[in-house]
A and B are shown apart, each in its own frame.
Chain A
């Protein structure tokens, strides 16, 4: 069966520090991968998605970047965090067919102080 792992689960970072959130998927090949951010009362905002290694689409220009160094690995990064980067970050995967279910990781809480 397929599983998705996301870490760290919680982190507190000072303003201006770097960020790296990692997500890996097991049990499937060539998945579509996604990073969403969830802020209270604002739903889920799609940040990045990837249809293959090295192929990243950015939905919202901001202080974050994403990379896909391996087929089932998706990394969310920042060189210098801002207070506004605080939130709940969710990684997800789906097969490359529209209408298919998107499966989510457990999420990572980021607090920038």
Chain B
């Protein structure tokens, strides 16, 4: 079985500060990993995904994530937060041969001026 753990249900940063959202996974096989963003009352939008190519993945809106097998992690980062980054972020995992995703519980990113 696969699972995802997102550390911290809420993360607060100041505008311009580094954003770090943590995600650790558990999988019996090499996983595919995803980060999605959800703005209030909307569906989810893909930020980036790792599918066994380069371990450092760049996504939209300046976000990136690094797959670290030894740490079973896929943390999401952005060098400088913008007010528009305030949203809920979900890490998700799937395994080769399966299209369903297992999501973490989400981390709400709060950005203050």
Contact = CB atoms under 8 A, between A and B. Distances in A.
Interface residues of B, number: 27
Contacts, number: 64
Given A90-B43, A105-B43, A34 B49 contact: no
Interface in B34-84: 34, 36, 41-46, 49, 51-52
B22 interface: no
B7 to A, nearest CB: 13
Contacts of B34: 101-102
Given A44-B90, A90-B43, A101 B49 contact: yes
Given A43-B105, A99-B32, A101-B49, A107 B42 contact: yes
Chain B at the A interface: mostly helix, strand, loop or mixed?
loop
A42 B4 CA distance: 12
A29 interface: no
A100 interface: yes
A103 B51 CA distance: 17
A99 B9 contact: no
Nearest to A4: B43
Interface in A66-82: none
Contact of B104 (A32, A43, A95, A103): A43
A44 B99 contact: no
B44 A99 contact: no
A62 interface: no
Interface of B: 9, 32, 34, 36, 41-46, 49, 51-52, 90, 94-106
Q: Which 8 A-B pairs have the closest CB atoms?
A: A104-B43, A43-B105, A99-B51, A44-B103, A99-B32, A104-B44, A43-B103, A106-B43
6 contacts: A32-B99, A90-B43, A101-B49, A102-B46, A102-B101, A107-B41
Interface of A: 6, 32, 34, 36, 41-44, 46, 49, 59, 90, 92, 94-107, 109
